Amino acid sequence: MALLLIPDMEDVVGDYLRNLDEITDIGAKVVGLPLGDARQPWVLVSVLDSPRRGPIDHLIEFFMQFSCYAGKDATVAHGGQAQVNSLARTVRAALNELPETDLSDVVVSGVEVSFGPRLEDDTVEPARQHLPVEATIWAHAR
């Protein structure tokens, strides 16, 4: 008997965002671990929860967070707010396109996206603007 594994959505959606011209045009990195000292803006991709919606692991409801950060040199006074807002709006638009996107190993049947509050994150040096984008993504393996 072969095990049915759920998709690695951090990897799948991270790769999708990493390969979008709109993200690379901003100069942003898409990562799975925090980049506190990065000069460029970045997006930290995390799966927060992934309950199944049925008797088998076919349709999974992935609750994900895409933590958007301004670059190291973009302070509040020097474009940090504008940079993080632009990055978060781009991530949101890209996520909304997932159901129409041909992903090799995953079928996405729906997406709901929302913004969290924009904050100054002082857990990274130097402190920078941070805007989380949260999404529920309904998906299953092909």
Q: What is the pLDDT of residues 110-125, one digit of tens each?
A: 999 999 888 888 877 7
Between 123 and 96, the higher pLDDT residue:
96
Q: Is the pLDDT of residue 10 over 90?
A: yes
In a domain, residue 18? The reply is no
Task: Indicate whether 12 belongs to any domain.
Answer: no
With pLDDT > 70 as the criterion, what percentage of the chain qualifies? 89
> What is the DSSP annotation of 43-105?
EEEEEEE--BSSSSTTSEEEEEEEEEE--TT--GGGTHHHHHHHHHHHHHHHHHTGGGS--SS
Total domains in the fold of the chain: 1
The boundaries of the domain holding residue 91 are 25-32+41-141
**78 domain-assigned:** yes
pLDDT (tens digit per residue) in 68-91:
998 877 665 566 888 999 999 999
The answer to whether residue 63 scores a pLDDT higher than 90 is yes
What pLDDT is recorded for position 75? 60
**CATH code where residue 105 lies:** 3.30.2000
